[in-house]
Structure 1
Amino acid sequence: MLMHHNDLARTGQMLAETTLTLANVNSATFGKLRFLPADGKVDGQPLFVTSLTIGAATHNVVYVVTEHDSVYAYDSDSGAALWQKSLAGAGETPSLDTGCQDLTPEIGITATPVIDRSRGANGALYAVAMSTDASGNVHHRLHAIDLATGAELFGGPTEISATYPGNGAEGVNGVLTFNPALHTVRAALTLVNGNIYMGWTAHCMSGSYNGWLMTYSAATLKQTSALPVTPNGSQGSIWMAGSGMASDGTSIYFIDGNGTFGTNLNAQGFPADGDLGDAFIKLSATATPAVTDYFAMSDVVAQAAADNDFGSGGAMLLPDQTTANGTVKHLAVGAGKDNNIYVVDRDNMGKFSPTSNNIWQTLTGVLAGGIWGSPAYYNNVVYYGGQTDALKALPVTNALLATAASSRSPTQFPYPGATPAISANGASNGIVWAAENGTVAALHAYDATNLAHELYNSNQAGARDQFGAGNKFITPMIAAGKVYVGTTNGVAVFGLLK
């Protein structure tokens, strides 16, 4: 598990899970094994590597990052701490609460890191850390950390800064300058073709800011590109409730939030001013990415003005689908606060029209609440967990998503809903996992073929399996027979009790 939601398509499916089954995931045989303590909130998804040599021993290792700027490596089998490292600079501390309820009381490492096992002697974990020095200056730095030792790699860390031509919110005299005090990396880091892609939002998407996409070399940690999505406007957060940008290896796909959208289009159908707020965007997966296509809703200006941003949810790519007439379609799905699900053709995303959404499919009335997270995919079914809504299964037939759920969970998930994850042994023993927010949080497990069949939840055995209050925007991570859930002060680990 080297990245957010397991793969670049962001399907959330772990298809090599041979331990957890429909028969043994129940409160009699499955529960909380241990708790991995941490020094701050765990907003990034834990990551996992197998068979890593540390010293003279071989370990399966789970990596945890915190808002206190720490990275932990734990032995996943024993729970023993292997090493811990602070990514704050000398004399610096995590940045203080900015008044944003989503990131409190401090901001350090917010985005899920990404791991490349081929880099360096032991593999590298890439993470962005935010900190404040004694003079009150805010810093964001990109780190590459040796998986076995915690040492910095490739001459890092790299201080993050950027400029770009434009007259947008962060601009002066025709030049935008990235303001580190305004920004947070919330979207999970994405690694494609040797490039690290990171998306920037503002704290609670407030203030005079622009959304930025930046690209860094995984080999050198040097910046290769900085691209604001609203260069002559404002806002355009790339946050997606912590979800990662998706990729098919050739292109990068993400959805940005409220911001200026330029309705005056050029001959190619792109905004003449370059402003692409509140849009589903396709970029070339290169060191200097360029926008190659996009989709914006016909009412995009009104949606943005109403804080009904599309970019509250993440993008997911579907495997190749075949229509009833035999045409192969390359599709992506996304949903935000307006309760609709949008299915776009990645080869022709639809761009913008003030009168219609020229996309492959729009599903209205399927979700009872908006999306603050991502869907999952397994065995030709898309799973969505809306806010104050049940988790719902939407089969895909002839390249079209079902317009009514084939099954739904008995649980309605309070704000922010749920970002599900899947464990399965190939096409068998499919289990949908979802974390429930609340004063007493819960981990739920459902039969993937019928969400009405709840296999387990962590409140069934009383206090035995409980792990405290919920943490927003968390997706369970499944690896090697265990399920990991980030919390406000560590990671709860679940598995077979014997």
Structure 2
Amino acid sequence: MARRTHTAAVVLTAIMAVFVARLAAPASSKRPESCPGGRFLVLGESLVDSDPASPNEPIVISGTTISIGEACPPTKARLRGYALGSRLTAKWHTCLGLHGRARLRALIDPNCSVVTGTFIARRPKIRVTFAAHLSRCGDGLIDHGGGEQCEMGAGCRSNETCASCTCVPVHSVGTTSSTTTTTSASTTTTSTTLAAKTDWVTYGFDLQRTSHNPSEVTLAADNVGGLGQMWSTDVGAVVAASPVLASDVNVDGTTLDLLYIATEHGNLYALDAATGRVVWQRDLGSQVTTCFDMPDEVFGISDTPFVDRATQSLFVVGGDGSLYALDLATGTTRAGWPVTITADPAHEHVYSAVTLAGGALYVETASYCDRTPYYGRVVKIDLPTASPVETWYVTSSPGAGPGGGGIWGWGGASVDSSGDLYVATGNAATTPQNYGYAERVVRLSSALAVEASNYPGLNGLDVDFGSTPVPYQVPGCPGQVVVENKSGVVFVYQRDAIASGPTQQLKIGDYDRAAG
């Protein structure tokens, strides 16, 4: 176990009013308008293997035409609006690498943000079911054809930062300083150069969990000693989740920087970052347990939320086991949410940060003090439809075999530039404790298929992982990932050779097995 320490009359009237309104509303036979089109990025395998535009192959709908990457040129698109969305059909006489005709049949959801359908070709014989998401800055997918240079801190050089999906030099990120001197009045006015506002949207700043903010140009080693407390706010309980920040949020016509704080009593606060004032508060549930990892044995929100500026939403798992989408400015729950992550929050708990990448959310589960029954897993939630679409179990699904295998790392799943995920797992609730994918470093595809894994083979009981792998890139070296084991050993792997075992390991601390 990877343990942690931390010191109805109104309703009837409303229903009747809606019913009367519906009776009074005239019937309309007008067909809904079709979606306007856009650039939609195919998730997973490309529709055409030979497409140079892969990965993240774009389906581009423009006016009455549609194209697929660089493989299928613009052709006439048939697009019609219906209550359930817009139906899309198209045919090509030829596509790159294909012989003969190809056709596409799909449905665009009512929000015009997701295309799902089938692409069919005769030679070679192809029948691909796909999902493509509307390309937008902040979705975690770099759309070079759409003018993006970077996403979520990935894609830029070490001396650059990603600002609005464009790589800019670090030294250029800021406001212009000015000094004006009036000698006759013997006065000097100076404005201080400040870094441009940057959101801290997730645990560790970026999807790689590096905790590196390349836009920071003010705080440095020579002035960190000058930091001092500006305000404090009593939130009434243990705070285990990391705060996240959204800048320039419009709250009732006033622009505020909001700091989001979650507590182990299940309360989520939005604070004015300048004053500490509570702007809004939500209670998302908590569980009274017998696990002493929390001072009063109460667990609420342990996971770090995710700030999504594209939808102006905050994603967070409450102590009730549900994933919420909340309005950044008001804390109101978005329509269609929350989504159930675990139906057994009395035994299963989410410690790990919520991850948003490639138009999907990823959430990991563990337990309280390693007490069964629980089944460690990663759950993938489709963002536009607010529905679970994939689940990967560390050991086995309920009723199919041993449980355990919690994912305890505060960062949950990290993500590399290709969209693959990395997790480190806890022990199985059986012997051997490395049953299945327990006590392993695991690389997963965005569809939660295992790409590679490794059990480092440490001796002893309960020598599992309680951290999150961090992918990184050293110039001149292959992509690597570093991860800590609670035995006090740090492992380094080559990302494309994880199954071959660590390339380096370093013991940095002692492990008290008696403490667990």
Aligned to 2:72: none
Alignment of 1:419-430 (within 5 A): none
Per-residue deviation at 1:102?
3.8
Aligned to 1:428: none
Aligned to 1:145: 326
Aligned to 1:308: 463
Q: Which amino acid aligns with 1:55?
A: D
Aligned to 1:129: 318
**Equivalent of 1:213, from 372, 378, 387?**
378
**Equivalent of 1:36, from 233, 239, 242?**
233
In structure 2, C-alpha distance between the alignment counterparts of 1:157 and 1:335, rounded to whole Å: 33
Tell me if structure 2 keeps the 8 A contact 1:321–1:331.
Answer: no
1:369 aligns with 2:510: yes
Q: Which amino acid aligns with 2:504?
A: Q
Aligned to 1:420: none
In structure 2, C-alpha distance between the alignment counterparts of 1:239 and 1:194, rounded to whole Å: 24
Tell me if structure 2 keeps the 8 A contact 1:10–1:244.
Answer: no
Tell me if structure 2 keeps the 8 A contact 1:260–1:276.
Answer: no
Tell me if structure 2 keeps the 8 A contact 1:112–1:189.
Answer: yes
Tell me if structure 2 keeps the 8 A contact 1:261–1:276.
Answer: no
Alignment of 1:311-350 (within 5 A): 311-322=465-476, 328-350=477-499
**Equivalent of 1:78, from 271, 275, 280?**
275
Per-residue deviation at 1:2?
0.3
In structure 2, C-alpha distance between the alignment counterparts of 1:159 and 1:22, rounded to whole Å: 44
1:47 aligns with 2:235: no
In structure 2, C-alpha distance between the alignment counterparts of 1:23 and 1:252, rounded to whole Å: 37
**Equivalent of 2:218, from 19, 31, 40?**
19
Tell me if structure 2 keeps the 8 A contact 1:2–1:114.
Answer: yes
Aligned to 2:165: none
Q: Which amino acid aligns with 2:442?
A: I
Aligned to 1:67: 264
TM-score (normalised: structure 2): 0.56
The structure with the larger Rg is 2
After superposition, what is the alpha-carbon deviation per residue over 1:384-415, rounded to whole angstroms, capped at 9, x for unaligned? xxx9xxxxxxxxxxxxxxxxxxxxxxxxxxx9
Tell me if structure 1 keeps the 8 A contact 2:242–2:304.
Answer: yes
Alignment of 1:277-288 (within 5 A): 277-286=438-447
SS in 1 for 2:369: helix
Q: Which amino acid aligns with 2:268?
A: V
> Which region of structure 1 is more displaced relative to structure 2, 1-10 or 65-74?
65-74
In structure 2, C-alpha distance between the alignment counterparts of 1:337 and 1:21, rounded to whole Å: 31
Aligned to 2:77: none
In structure 2, C-alpha distance between the alignment counterparts of 1:183 and 1:222, rounded to whole Å: 20
Aligned to 2:309: 117
Q: Which amino acid aligns with 2:283?
A: S
Alignment of 1:123-272 (within 5 A): 123-131=312-320, 140-161=321-342, 179-231=344-396, 232-240=401-409, 242-249=410-417, 250-259=419-428
Tell me if structure 1 keeps the 8 A contact 2:237–2:263.
Answer: yes
In structure 2, C-alpha distance between the alignment counterparts of 1:182 and 1:315, rounded to whole Å: 25
Per-residue deviation at 1:97?
2.8
Per-residue deviation at 1:339?
2.0
After superposition, what is the alpha-carbon deviation per residue over 1:107-138, rounded to whole angstroms, capped at 9, x for unaligned? 2111111111101xxx111111123xxxxxxx
Aligned to 1:293: 452
TM-score (normalised: structure 1): 0.58
Report which structure shows greater RCO (CA 8 Å, sep ≥6): 1
After superposition, what is the alpha-carbon deviation per residue over 1:295-324, rounded to whole angstroms, capped at 9, x for unaligned? 11134xx44xx1121x122211112442xx
Tell me if structure 2 keeps the 8 A contact 1:238–1:255.
Answer: yes
RMSD of equivalent CA atoms: 2.4
SS in 2 for 1:36: coil
In structure 1, C-alpha distance between the alignment counterparts of 2:261 and 2:340, rounded to whole Å: 22
SS in 1 for 2:319: strand
Tell me if structure 2 keeps the 8 A contact 1:233–1:275.
Answer: no
Q: Which amino acid aligns with 2:470?
A: M
Q: Which amino acid aligns with 2:469?
A: A
Aligned to 1:276: 437
Tell me if structure 2 keeps the 8 A contact 1:211–1:236.
Answer: yes
Query: Residues 260 and 84 (structure 1 numbering): CA distance in 2 closer, same or farther, change over 3 Å?
Result: closer
Residue identity (%): 25
In structure 1, C-alpha distance between the alignment counterparts of 2:431 and 2:498, rounded to whole Å: 17
Per-residue deviation at 1:150?
0.8
SS in 2 for 1:38: coil
Per-residue deviation at 1:262?
9.9
Q: Which amino acid aligns with 2:468?
A: G
Structure 1: any 5+ residue segments left out of the alignment?
89-93, 132-139, 162-177, 264-270, 323-327, 352-357, 371-386, 388-414, 417-498
Number of matched pairs: 309
